[in-house]
């Protein structure tokens, strides 16, 4: 009995020593800005964190199609309709690149879909706001895609190879999204008084949710330090948020629109804008799924998945039949 | 004629972070020997840090005859490119 227990214990400590060695080697590689590839050894926590982050990102791309899809049939011109359709197609592609990257970590597409539908997986809170007017489509491209770009550009150098490569593709496609949004806002801002009011109203409603896209403030972002060390996050939430504000305020001024923040003020000492307090209570409510349209979003995804399951089944049945014939 | 050794397509990752890229093919009896042959043929000068071999027969390629109908529809969609949109010069970071 004793000897068995003893040898077991030896095994355990041998594994622990082996693990500690691999851990140290892994941390050193990541610290040296090397890329980790699917077949490389990685700590379980790194794998899990990445699966959560990448699938969450993928879900955001997919759910993000819904608020824009809402205006597809009501776009004001054929030109705008073609542009919006092309953008939504891109977002779908982004979701697929990211799901594929997550699958290299050993999670299946169906597991991820299931997690989203069951409410276990999160997606960006921004998509739980409704698109009430056509101007919202311009505001989303300008602000939401603009914020996404700032988040995504540093991720092109993230430590996990497949994720980094997906981000390179995505960033290349993202630029048109922001520019078409800004162009659309420009048209409204230079239009009739009613169009100008519509543009201002869209900015009023999307500004604060866009700032929240960067996540909770640094002092309330518990996993940030770990993620920064692992290079799966390359800038802090607050730093990216500040950068977004600093580049976006002049863009709003060029449109003749007003940022809905009375405390917004250029701070020459910091060479940055000071800004007002963010309503984090609202943010956490939206995270918990209390956004105005959160339930509609998930219902739309589930309905699409279920009502189209026959297409997947028919395709598989057809292939099985073909293989039977060939055999 | 006797059937020769199966054909494998070889993909090399030049360095960490880059995707595997097709470099050519080798003949080999099994996957392990295909990797060994690929190593000898394609990475003698440190051209890579990782190899993939895929049975050539497993690759489905698009038909060159279909190229027009597959790829031409993208040609008239210039609005998929950022340069299609006019943003004044004084507006930065967009
Ligand atoms: Fe996207
Ligand atoms: Fe986008």
**Cβ B52 vs Cβ B42: under 8 Å:** no
pTM of the model: 0.92
Ordered domains of chain B (ranges, CATH): 7-80 (3.10.20.520)
Mutate to test the interface with A, among B85, B86, B92 (most CBs of A within 10 A): B85
Q: pLDDT per residue over B71-88, tens digit each? A: 998 989 999 999 999 999
**Do residues A141 and A181 lie in contact, with contact meaning Cβ atoms separated by under 8 Å?**
yes
Indicate the helix (H) or strand (E) that contains A7.
helix A2-31
B20 close to A (CB below 8 A): no
> Is pLDDT at A267 greater than 60 in this prediction?
yes
Q: Of A82, A179, A247, which has the smallest distance from its Cβ to B85's Cβ? A: A179
CA of A61 to the centre of ligand 1 (A): 5
User: What separation in Å is there between the alpha carbon of A101 and the centre of ligand 1?
Assistant: 15
Q: Looking at residues B13-22, what average pLDDT do you find? A: 96
Share of chain B above pLDDT 90, in %: 91
* pLDDT per residue as tens digits for the range A117-168: 999 999 999 999 999 999 999 999 999 999 999 999 999 999 999 999 999 9
Candidates A310, A307, A289; CA nearest to A298 is A289
| Comparison of pLDDT for A253 and A3, the residue scoring more | A253
Which of A83, A164, A182 comes nearest B94 by C-beta? A182
Confirm or reject contact between B78 and chain A (CB < 8 A): no
What separation in angstroms does the CA of A277 have from each of A92, A261, A319? 34, 9, 57
Q: Do B17 and A35 touch (CB under 8 A)?
A: yes
- For A189-200, give one letter per residue: b (16+ CB within 10 A) or e: beeeeeebebbb
ipTM: 0.91
Backbone angles phi, psi at B22, to 5 degrees: -65, 130
């Amino acid at each position: 009995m004793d000897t068995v227990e003893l040898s077991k214990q030896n095994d355990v400590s041998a594994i622990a020593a082996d693990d500690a060695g691999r851990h140290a080697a892994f941390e050193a590689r990541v610290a040296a800005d090397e890329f980790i590839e699917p077949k490389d050894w990685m700590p379980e926590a790194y794998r899990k964190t990445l699966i959560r982050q990448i699938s969450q990102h993928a879900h955001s791309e997919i759910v993000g199609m819904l608020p824009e899809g809402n205006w597809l049939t009501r776009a004001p011109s054929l030109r705008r309709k073609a542009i919006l359709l092309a953008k939504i197609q891109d977002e779908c592609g982004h979701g697929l690149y990211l799901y594929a990257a997550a699958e290299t970590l050993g999670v299946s597409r169906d597991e991820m879909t299931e997690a989203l539908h069951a409410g276990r997986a999160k997606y960006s809170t921004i998509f739980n706001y409704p698109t009430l007017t056509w101007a919202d489509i311009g505001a989303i491209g300008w602000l939401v895609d603009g914020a996404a770009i700032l988040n995504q550009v540093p991720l092109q150098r993230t430590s996990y190879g497949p994720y980094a490569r997906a981000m390179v593709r995505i960033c290349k496609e993202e630029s048109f999204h922001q520019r078409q949004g800004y162009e659309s806002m420009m048209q409204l801002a230079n239009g009739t008084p009613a169009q100008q009011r519509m543009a201002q109203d869209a900015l009023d409603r999307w500004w604060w949710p866009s700032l929240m896209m960067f996540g909770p403030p640094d002092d309330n972002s518990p996993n940030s330090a770990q993620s920064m060390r692992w290079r799966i996050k390359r800038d802090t939430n607050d730093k990216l948020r500040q950068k977004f504000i600093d580049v976006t305020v002049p863009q709003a001024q060029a449109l003749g629109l007003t940022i809905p923040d009375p405390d917004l003020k250029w701070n020459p000492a910091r060479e940055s804008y000071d800004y007002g307090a963010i309503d984090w209570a609202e943010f956490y409510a939206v995270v918990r799924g209390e956004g105005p349209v959160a339930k509609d979003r998930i219902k739309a995804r589930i309905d699409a998945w279920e009502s189209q399951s026959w297409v997947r089944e028919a395709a598989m049945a057809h292939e099985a039949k073909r293989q039977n014939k060939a055999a | 004629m006797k059937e020769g050794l199966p054909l494998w397509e070889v993909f090399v990752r030049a360095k960490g972070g880059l995707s595997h890229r097709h470099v050519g093919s080798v003949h080999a009896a099994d996957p392990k020997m295909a990797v060994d042959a690929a190593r000898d043929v394609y990475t003698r000068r440190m051209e890579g840090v990782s190899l993939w071999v895929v049975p050539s027969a497993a690759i489905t390629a698009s038909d060159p005859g279909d190229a027009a109908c597959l790829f031409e529809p993208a040609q008239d969609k210039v609005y998929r490119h950022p340069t299609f949109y006019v943003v004044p010069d004084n507006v930065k970071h967009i």
